[in-house]
Structure 1
Amino acid sequence: MSPLLALALGVLAAGAAGAACWLVWRRFRPAPRPLRRAPHLRHPLVLVHGLMGFDAVEVRGVRHDYFRGLPDLLEAQGCAVHRPRVAATGSVAARAEALAACVRALPDRKVNILAHSMGGLDARYAVSRLGLGDRVASLTTVATPHRGTPLADLGTEVLGERLGLRWALTRLGVDVDGFYEVTSARTAALGAAAPDVPGVAYGSVVGVAARRRETHKLLLPAWAYLRSAAGANDGLVPASSQPWGEVLAEIDADHFAQIGWSRHFDAPAFYERLLGELRGRGF
């Protein structure tokens, strides 16, 4: 999920009456075993953005990546990087189709996919349901709501259905399926319909915002709500929802910080280490 989603769900979760809005390491805690390193990444990296995300945008002549500063860092490490753009608020199926088309258009035999938030659901669907498994060596998800998030359950029920926002936005031509795709019911259905594919290495990174003072202010209402409803979380996704496959690392970073939008978390250092792990595993 991108920073723009936080306010819409976060304000609602905090109970602010009638408010709805369409609106970013400090400490790295490694996995139980040390991360491995190797000189080169064997396959290129495909970065997949989350709900209401983007590949890159230009504002006043300055380019901003969704994964802030990370493509340049990874390319400096000798890694080929691709950043497909999928529908910002579309369904998992639609977003996965766009992702699959991008990967199939690449000249490389295989790729490594690194997906943030809802992007991980898109990638799992593409690999399992769209036959992309033969093109993917590894799929690493970061803070993906594999088991949904209570924020989406609450937001879609209250805003989307009771207050009729889904109907109104649909009438205006706005696709809001993506918000429903991260509910607990939809993610459970995806889990049953899109099993893991043998030969693809599935890994995940779990992010938790451990300190209120280091959590982005836009995420604080949602962070507080989730803390009482589901325990540890990153401001949008419960920690319990994020593991899929092997948990490669746990990081002390909120949902925005995980992709470089924070002063409290050294995202470049984390991704450099994660890239080293993929290298060490021969990917």
Structure 2
Amino acid sequence: MFMVLPTLALLHGFLGFSRRGPIECFRGVEHALRRVHIIPLIPEVPPSGTIVERAEALAQQLFSSNAPAFALVAHSMGGLDARHLIAYLDPDRRIKSLLTVATPHRGTPVATWVLESRGVIPAWVRHIGNPGLSELTPEARSAAPIPDRSDVVYSSYAGHRPLDEQPFWLRYFGRAIPAANDGMVPVESAQWGEFRGILRTDHIELLGWSLGLPNRRAIRPFDHLDFWTRAAVDAMAAAEGKPS
């Protein structure tokens, strides 16, 4: 029997983008995937939009193609967009798997801290980040749960760097989380579906933007190209119903 391979889509997070000129949010990942014969879609959704707005934009871009099946791999808020799309915007059930990476499924105290704090940096983040930022607090996520769909395979990774390994600017946010975190998202909040483990990386380093000095002891920089390639292969295998 002829099997149609699922189409892979990489989904960016809060304040993310697909490409700005030569700059890719997922740095070098598209090229790395093409080397293993995976041609990904990298949709762009409103960077600071609500989950509903972002999910609707995502659905429009994915389902305008004639691809019969999709495997989604999402960074950060992209995982919440994907879960909303799967639950409410996929009547033909074309989404088969979702792998989330550092997604704040249960929210993040960083969002609460930014919304409530004084100072130039929190004010600037509020200015560019709302209304989406308001949906990333633990309280908001608890008040608006997104149901899973039984025919979709859900899995997840979390990132974690101790505070002293985080870049100094990221530590500014990481201190707002009283638990293990990647500078933006608590490890516990990132766990959804089959939890595949904790990656020694910070939230931005996951995308290939290592803003700390190289450090062999801390395994910095994180090998993001290897990770996203493996994640893509695993997500596609899950979409086909194969063990990964």
1:264 corresponds to which letter in structure 2? P
**Shift in alpha-carbon separation, 1:282–1:84, aligned structure 2, 3 A:** closer
1:233 to 1:65, Cα distance in 2 relative to 1, 3 A: same
* Distance of 1:81 and 1:123 partners within structure 2: 16
Corresponding residue of 1:179: 133
Deviation at 1:280, TM superposition (A): 4.4
Match of 2:159, SS? strand
1:47 aligns with 2:2: no
Q: Once the two structures are aligned, what percentage of the paired residues are identical?
A: 34
Alignment partner of 1:85 is 2:39: no
What is the identity, as a one-letter code, of the residue corresponding to 1:221?
Y
CA distance 1:110–1:279, shift in 2 (3 Å) = closer
Q: 1:278 offset after TM fit, Å?
A: 3.2
Per-residue Cα deviation, 1:108-138 (whole angstroms, up to 9, x for no partner) = 1011111110111111111112235701111
Shift of 1:261: 1.0
Any stretches of 5+ residues in structure 1 without a counterpart? 1-39
Of residues 201, 225, 228, the one that matches 2:153 is 201
Counterpart of 1:7 in structure 2 is none
Could you tell me whether the CA contact under 8 Å between 2:8 and 2:236 is conserved in 1? no
Distance 2:129 2:102 in 1: 23
Alignment-derived partner of residue 219 in structure 1: 170
Q: Which runs of 5+ in 2 are unaligned?
A: 211-219
String of CA shifts for 1:201-239, please: whole Å, max 9, x gaps: 1111111113623x223212222332xx2x100001111
Cross-structure match for 1:188: 142
The correspondence for 1:124, drawn from 83, 88, 98, is 83
Contact 1:92–1:125 under 8 Å retained in 2: yes
Structure 2 Cα separation of the partners of residues 206 and 118 of structure 1? 13
- 1:240 offset after TM fit, Å? 0.9
SS of the equivalent of 2:38 reads: coil
> Is the 2:107–2:137 Cα contact (8 Å) retained in structure 1?
yes
TM-fit CA distance, 1:76:
1.5
Q: 1:268 corresponds to which residue?
A: 225
1:59-103 superposed Cα distances (whole Å, 9 cap, x missing partner) = xxxx11111110111121111211111111111110110001111
The structure richer in helix per residue is: 1
Q: How many residues align?
A: 226
**Structure with larger RCO (C-alpha < 8 A, sep 6+):** 1
- How far does the alpha carbon of each residue in 1:149-182 deviate from its partner, in whole angstroms, 9 at most, with x for none? 111112113359xxx969x95xxxx671111010
| Aligned structure 1 segments of 4 or more residues deviating by more than 6 angstroms | none
Structure 2 counterpart of 1:136: 95
In structure 2, give the amino acid aligned to 1:242. Answer: A
Matches of 1:133 and 1:159, distance apart in 2:
46
